[in-house]
Structure 1
Amino acid sequence: MAEEIRAEMVANVWKVVAKKGDTITDADPIVILESMKMEIPVHAEDGGVVSEVAVNEGDVVQEGDLIAVIELPSNG
């Protein structure tokens, strides 16, 4: 099962923190967006392994754009 992380607003991708293959927790930022001079960390709802990062530093994302995909651990 996978979780798609999507942008919640129009913003610039200021920094990409996670990369494909990284194991993350729900507290780890995947990317940091910048909007109106504010830095907004984007987190997964659950921990897992990053299977895709769909943005690069300097990109502009629109609301709903894919940021990353996290493969969630199976429960059974």
Structure 2
Amino acid sequence: MTKIKAHITGTVWRIEVRVGDEVKAGDAVAILESMKMEMPVEADDGGIVDEILVEVSQSVTEGQVLMVLR
């Protein structure tokens, strides 16, 4: 299992994938907003989205797990 973590503290602005979607390394899976800037969160590895642990408008901290891939 691969965990996708927030690389900055911010707010989940958009989630680009759904459970069951296949992603490749480098695909943007979510967009975080921090200091009025949109920052994409990219998958480090490929896999299938198994869990999405956050919701749009939720505040997240740097290092928080956003999604789990299998």
Give TM-score scaled by structure 1 length.
0.85
- The 4+ residue runs of structure 1 with deviation greater than 4 A are none
Structure 1 alignment gaps of length 5 or more: 72-76
Do the aligned partners of 1:30 and 1:42 also contact (CA within 8 Å) in 2? yes
1:30 aligns with 2:29: yes
Instruction: Decide which structure has the larger Cα Rg and report it.
Output: 1
Q: Number of matched residues?
A: 70
Paired with 2:8 and 2:26, the residues of 1 have a C-alpha distance of 20
Identity among equivalent positions (%) equals 40
Structure 2 alignment gaps of length 5 or more: none
CA drift at 1:11 = 0.5
Do the aligned partners of 1:29 and 1:41 also contact (CA within 8 Å) in 2? yes
Q: What are the equivalent positions in structure 2 for 1:1-76 lying under 5 Å apart?
A: 2-71=1-70
The 3-state SS of whatever aligns with 1:45 is coil
